[in-house]
Structure 1
Amino acid sequence: MTVERLQNTKPTVERWNEVFEALSAEPRRQLLMTLLDAPAGRRVLLPDAAVGPAESADLTERRLELAHRHLPLLSQRGFVDWATDPFCAQRGERFDEVAAVVGIVHANVEDLPPHLVDGYRRLEDERDE
């Protein structure tokens, strides 16, 4: 019985690992948050959608990072679909899994330690302007 239960939870554990891996890099978090703000089915233009409002990034370098590192990871897990011409991304079939985690963090930001949310609060303030 225990072995059967562990086998049944493995896909769930893997899914959680994939969600946290997707959220482990700032360009991926920024892209996922941009997609969360965009209407379902809408494509967002890259690399701009993966750069935070307060971030100064070399867009040529960010484009390369996205195409060779971040987008393949997100795409393989089904979180985003992307294209090179035009360079854009949209929600993938499993986008709701990362969106749920981002939504929970957003809804509970006041309960998180300040050192984890100071940059997040500034990002939210800049988005509201």
Structure 2
Amino acid sequence: MSDEASRALLKALRRQVLSTLLEHEDGIGFDSLADENQTVASQWEQNRILLYHNHLPKLDDLGYIHWNPETQMIERGERFDEIQAVLDTPDIDDNDRFSSPTSLMVL
């Protein structure tokens, strides 16, 4: 796994965004992430700012997603296939949720 992929997958919030895109080939709306990951409202609000200002732009810069803040849409990026192979491995903990305590940490 490349250093970029390792850094991208380091945070639970990023893993959840990427894992969600595995199931949504056409992309997903920002607010739909909470529904997809069964996040309670208070936890979603806590993580919303981290996603919007930190994690989504970072994944976009790496090319794994395309994040459009104006439309609030998250789509697979031009390098998504590279990270998809890593996400499909059993080493990634599929039980991570936006409510994970480690998801509140920032790189």
The reply to whether TM is greater than 0.5 is yes
**Contiguous gaps of at least 5 residues in structure 1:** 1-14, 106-111, 121-129
1:22 to 8, 29, 43: 8
Cα deviation, residue 117, structure 1: 5.0
SS, match of residue 71 in structure 1: helix
> Aligned-pair RMSD on alpha carbons?
2.5
Alpha-carbon distance in 2 for matches of 1:34, 1:66: 14
Higher helix share: 1
Higher relative contact order (CA 8 A, sep 6+): 2
Alpha-carbon distance in 2 for matches of 1:31, 1:59: 13
Cα deviation, residue 104, structure 1: 2.2
Normalised by the length of structure 1, the TM-score is 0.62
1:80 matched to 2:75:
no
Cα deviation, residue 99, structure 1: 0.5
Deviations 1:34-91 (A, max 9, x none): 101112xx120114326633x4353333221111110111011100011123212000
**Contiguous gaps of at least 5 residues in structure 2:** 97-107
| CA contact 1:46–1:89 (8 Å) conserved in 2 | yes
Alpha-carbon distance in 2 for matches of 1:33, 1:60: 20
* Number of aligned positions between the proteins: 94
Radius of gyration: which is bigger? 1
Question: Percent of aligned positions with the same letter in both sequences?
Answer: 32
Instruction: Provide closer, same or farther for how the CA distance between residues 43 and 118 of structure 1 changes in structure 2, counting only shifts above 3 A.
Output: closer
Normalised by the length of structure 2, the TM-score is 0.73
Alpha-carbon distance in 2 for matches of 1:70, 1:84: 12
